[in-house]
Chain A
């Protein structure tokens, strides 16, 4: 029914560069209170969880006097508001704090781990894009016929398979039985690292490829039935031109949104993959830090992640507007 309405009614106001700038500024300013609430929430949530980082660090034979001394040394005996203020002051001056467990600056930990998670995300995204566009278009062009059904069935199975299951099965096949790829771990040379990424990126890309492919297929199907495509065809433009100019451009809108969501998810949700493949990435750091009650690491990383997600959302909206001139501010 209101398909056109759906696209144009989501934004109000007229389209003009000044309005666009205003919108961007407004959105940027909106990020600030959100970040503040996020920081308070994660600060409190962490301290709500039972468990003492000092006791955890000292291990099974932790003596009470040593625990008390370590808590003092780590600054955990200071009142909560003081600890929060210190946290915010550090973050705002660019200092991510010192990890309780590793006794190293969080920025250093980040520097070590971020490239791995980012490479994994980028590699997965690349694989997904390479696979999903042709598959999605192919499925749409063969709508309801065997080709379409086959591709969609595969996508379904890809979405439903648990990633850790796939990861373990792939590892047995390619690493243990065939010896084609290294068994987990991250290499030291670029070549080794590329090889180490193959299976994890493939496993992680499955879900995204499937979701993207379906999205592209549906968008292409939807748009194929739109009036203006008929109108363009009636003007005598060739099939290829129709495809290139109109269909892909519009399919990209929802695809970009979906892709942004998936990338954000992958950056924050790569835990399982990193655990199974022994990749020392961010996801594993976050989970280990939660389990180890390393408040500093979790707080700083969640704050960073929130900042990044909000920025990505903002960028997505801006790209949205650039792709579809009908979407206005």
Chain B
């Protein structure tokens, strides 16, 4: 493949400070998620009716809410819940959808038809409405947020992987392997999988963001985590009633949600570039 345009002078991974920033952000989020207690002074659900609606100050850097709960503490503790929602909500569809797409793409035929029909049916529902209906059936709670995300999220990966497998199947080295008599399992997992997984991985990074935002939206509508559990979307929703004069309750969780999302997206972008310049 002939390249045109400017050739980067440094190796790809050093030319991308953005990727590094993304990794740092995500690492910081993990720190917040794993050891929140070390960072905050107050508990996330400690009610203190003497310190209600306090603006950001030294004692309460992000202010307090209507119950006197420290917003900084609540926002930090939310990291755990939101990261869980983002990552767990992505992982299961990634694996299940990926495997389904792999099998459907390779074996084609009936398996492929059934899978594509199921995906067509599910994709015909409006995404948000489908999640809301599932959550309404299952009930509130974080566990059901996962289930809803899993039920809806696997389709994208299945389609992505299947598409790539269909293309790859016709390539010479795969046909050569088939002719050479390699076992199907070996072909699928040793030859096809490594080549099709990259687009899924890239999508996964943005999917984490999508899962976190969907979880936050559900909380915003009143369907997500149960009170008084802190979650960025839930705190945002709590702050809606005070937005004219207690902007901090709405501002900070939204900010953290955005920054976390940016971190994961930067990683996804960095991976895209990395894979692109590596050659395919």
Binding site for B on A (CB under 8 A): 1-3, 5-6, 9-10, 30, 33-35, 37-38, 41-42, 45-46, 48-49, 143-144, 149, 152-153, 156-157, 159-165, 168-169, 172, 176, 214, 218, 221-222, 224-225, 227, 229-230, 264-265, 267-269, 271-272, 275, 283, 286-287, 290-291, 298, 302, 305-306, 309-310, 313
Contact = CB atoms under 8 A, between A and B. Distances in A.
B168 A2 contact: yes
Given A153-B18, A156-B269, A286-B126, A162 B216 contact: yes
A46 B133 CA distance: 8
Given A162-B233, A162-B254, A165-B236, A5 B170 contact: yes
Given A144-B15, A283-B128, A305-B124, 13 more contacts: A9-B167, A34-B120, A35-B124, A38-B124, A152-B18, A152-B269, A160-B261, A160-B262, A160-B265, A162-B216, A162-B257, A224-B4, A272-B220
Main DSSP-derived SS at the B contact region: helix
Given A34-B120, A152-B18, A5 B126 contact: no
11 contacts: A2-B167, A156-B269, A159-B261, A160-B259, A161-B261, A162-B257, A164-B217, A165-B254, A268-B129, A290-B132, A290-B136
Contacts of B18: 149, 152-153
B209 interface: yes
B5 A225 contact: yes
Interface in B219-261: 220-221, 232-233, 236, 240, 243-244, 247, 250-251, 254, 257-261
B163 to A, nearest CB: 7
B129 A290 contact: yes
A10 B254 contact: no
A143 B166 CA distance: 31
A45 B133 contact: yes
Nearest to A140: B5
B218 to A, nearest CB: 11
Given A156-B266, A165-B254, A172-B243, A34 B124 contact: yes
A9 B261 contact: no
Given A1-B280, A172-B244, A225-B4, A160 B166 contact: no
Nearest to A264: B126
Nearest to A41: B121
Contacts of A38: 121, 124-125
Nearest to A207: B213
Interface of B: 1-6, 8, 15, 18, 117, 120-121, 123-129, 132-133, 136-137, 163-164, 166-168, 170-171, 195, 206, 209, 213, 216-217, 220-221, 232-233, 236, 240, 243-244, 247, 250-251, 254, 257-262, 264-266, 269, 272, 276, 279-280
B124 A306 contact: yes
Contacts of B261: 159-161
Contacts of B247: 172
A286 B167 CA distance: 39
Nearest to A305: B126
Nearest to B263: A160
Contact of A225 (B3, B209, B260): B3
B129 A302 contact: yes
Given A225-B1, A271-B128, A302-B126, A157 B258 contact: yes
Contacts of A42: 125, 133
Nearest to B124: A306
Contacts of A35: 124
Interface centre among B117, B164, B265, B280 (most CB of A within 10 A): B265
A291 B140 CA distance: 13
A156 B127 contact: no
Contacts of A161: 254, 257-258, 261
Q: Which 4 A-B pairs have the closest CB atoms?
A: A268-B126, A160-B261, A165-B254, A306-B124
A227 B1 CA distance: 7
A200 to B, nearest CB: 16
A243 B63 CA distance: 53
> Which of B233, B244, B269 has most A Cβ within 10 Å?
B269
Contacts of A172: 243-244, 247
Contacts of B244: 172, 176
Contacts of A33: 117
Nearest to A48: B137
B30 to A, nearest CB: 17
